Every structure is written in structure tokens, then in C-alpha cells.
């Protein structure tokens, strides 16, 4: 399995039986080749997360998974959607996913209510990867650590709209993942983050801070 960072909160996961895009807001890599995408996961309806999801789904036939109201919004584009909510594991050819709570707001650019914001925990090829979406520090993260035990946590660190570096350090402790990947920082001036501080504090906790460059790929 390969994980590629596409800037902001966007990631691609290439598995043995499908190619997943998460929050495909691709301003940092506008020429990215998404033609093999089979599944798109969107954490909430804000433009910096929904990104080009409907357009990519139109071109590739990929299935968009999102919370019911957001999935319904995407269905307006005539694409395949899987409307889900918090609660249970959802199965795919390449593994399974559960939507977990995020504390944030949620609407589309035109003001449509798009349900509750979520994070996703992916279980693929024996690994558990948690992408928290936009969220503040919250006590649900203790449950995520205790019950779901992710190997990798992908967390926002930019502040202003989400957790900042300080709170992401606490979150990484609660979630318990050995590897922590920062996201949602340095895209706009409001979310500039001290990445060196993140790196040193995560290391002090005995964890592995994994700072990915745009379009950098790691093998898991
Ligand atoms: Ni947001
Ligand atoms: Mn955002």
C-alpha cells in the first residue's frame, strides 16, 4: 500500500485492489493524475475538502463516500455515492472504514447543510490509518485510541479552523498512533504552523513525526 500527500488535507492511498482519494482539494498539485481513482472519501462539505470530488467522480466513475447529507449533495452531479454516517464499519474491496466524530461546522459553498463533519479510520492490508478531517481536540480521541488503535494518525495542525500544533500533540497522545502525519497547515496565511515544533514535540513523545512534501509517497 502507498500513501501520497497531495497538500492541505488531501491524500491518495493506492491499495492492491483500489485507489482512494481523501478530501481532494488539489490546489497544491493541480496536474495530479487521478485517473485510476476508485473511491473518494470526503470528511465535510467545505470547499477545501470537497475540492474536485464531484468532477473527479464524473471523469473516473469513482464512488464518493460521505455523510448522508453531503453524499446527497454530491449526487446532484450525477455521480455514484455511498451515503453513510457515524456508527459502523463499511466494507470495500480493499478493506473497511468507519466514520468517527469530528468537531467542526459543515456546509457546502452554496450554504447547503451537509450533515455532521467526520474523520475516517481506514483498515487496509492490516494497517489502520486515521484521517481526522477538520476538528478541534476532543475527548472522542481517547475512545479512538482505546477502541480503534490506529497505526497512523493524520491530524490538522494549522490552528484557526482546527487544532493547532499544541493541541495536535495532545491529540496524538490520546489517539496513540506511533506515526503522526500533519495536515491542514501552511496552505493559507491563517493556518501557518511551526512544523519544527511539531516535529520535536512528537519525537519527545517517542512517536514518529512524518512530514510529507507535496506529492511525496510512502510505502506502508
Ligand atoms: Ni472545514
Ligand atoms: Mn478545512
CATH code, domain carrying 98: 3.60.15.10
Whether residue 216 lies inside any domain: the answer is no
Whether residue 153 lies inside any domain: the answer is yes
Whether residue 97 lies inside any domain: the answer is yes
Q: How far is the CA of 189 from the centre of ligand 1 (A)?
A: 15
d(CA 140, CA 81) in angstroms, rounded, equals 27
Q: How far is the CA of 88 from the centre of ligand 1 (A)?
A: 23
Tens of each residue's pLDDT in the chain, 220 residues? 999 999 999 999 999 999 999 999 999 999 999 999 999 999 999 999 999 999 999 999 999 999 999 999 999 999 999 999 999 999 999 999 999 999 999 999 999 999 999 999 999 999 999 999 999 999 999 999 999 999 999 999 999 999 999 999 999 999 999 999 999 999 999 999 999 999 999 999 999 999 999 999 999 9
**What's the half-sphere exposure (Cβ side, CA atoms, 13 Å) at 193?**
29
Whether residue 172 lies inside any domain: the answer is yes
Q: How far is CA 84 from CA 41, 89, 158, in A?
A: 11, 10, 28
DSSP characters over 59-108? HH-PEEEEEHHHHHHHHTTT--EEEE-TTS-EEETTEEEEEEE--S--B-
Question: Which of 76, 215, 205, 79 minimizes the C-alpha distance to 153?
Answer: 205
Q: How far is the CA of 134 from the centre of ligand 2 (A)?
A: 6
Q: How far is the CA of 57 from the centre of ligand 1 (A)?
A: 21
Whether residue 219 lies inside any domain: the answer is no
Spell out the alpha helix ranges (H) of the chain: 47-50, 53-60, 68-75, 140-143, 165-175, 195-204
Count of domains for the chain = 1
Contact of 76 with 62, CB cutoff 8 Å = no
- pTM confidence score: 0.98
Contact of 182 with 168, CB cutoff 8 Å = yes
d(CA 117, CA 43) in angstroms, rounded, equals 6
Q: How far is the CA of 184 from the centre of ligand 1 (A)?
A: 10
Whether residue 94 lies inside any domain: the answer is yes
Ligand nearest to the CA of 118: 1
Q: How far is the CA of 161 from the centre of ligand 1 (A)?
A: 7
Domain that holds residue 101: 2-209
Q: How far is the CA of 184 from the centre of ligand 2 (A)?
A: 7
Amino acid at each position: 500500500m502507498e500513501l501520497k500527500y497531495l497538500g492541505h488535507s488531501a491524500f491518495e492511498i493506492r491499495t492492491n485492489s483500489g485507489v482512494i482519494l481523501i478530501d481532494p482539494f488539489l490546489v497544491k498539485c493541480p496536474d495530479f493524475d487521478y485517473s485510476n481513482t476508485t473511491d473518494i472519501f470526503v470528511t465535510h462539505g467545505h470547499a477545501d475538502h470537497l475540492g474536485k470530488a464531484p468532477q473527479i467522480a464524473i471523469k473516473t466513475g469513482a464512488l464518493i463516500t460521505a455523510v448522508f447529507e453531503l453524499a446527497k449533495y454530491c449526487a446532484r452531479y450525477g455521480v455514484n455515492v455511498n451515503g453513510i454516517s457515524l456508527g459502523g464499519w463499511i466494507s470495500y474491496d480493499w478493506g473497511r472504514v468507519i466514520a468517527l466524530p469530528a468537531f467542526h461546522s459543515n456546509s457546502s459553498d452554496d450554504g447547503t447543510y451537509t450533515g455532521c463533519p467526520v474523520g475516517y479510520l481506514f483498515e487496509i492490508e492490516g494497517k489502520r490509518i486515521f484521517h481526522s478531517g477538520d476538528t478541534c481536540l476532543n475527548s472522542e480521541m481517547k475512545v479512538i485510541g482505546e477502541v480503534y488503535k490506529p497505526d497512523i494518525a493524520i491530524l490538522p495542525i494549522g490552528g484557526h479552523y482546527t487544532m493547532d500544533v499544541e493541541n495536535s500533540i495532545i491529540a496524538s497522545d490520546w489517539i496513540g498512533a506511533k506515526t503522526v502525519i500533519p495536515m491542514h497547515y501552511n496552505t493559507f496565511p491563517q493556518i501557518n504552523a511551526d512544523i519544527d515544533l511539531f516535529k520535536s514535540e512528537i519525537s519527545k513523545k517517542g512517536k514518529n513525526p512524518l512530514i510529507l512534501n507535496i506529492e511525496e509517497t510512502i510505502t506502508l
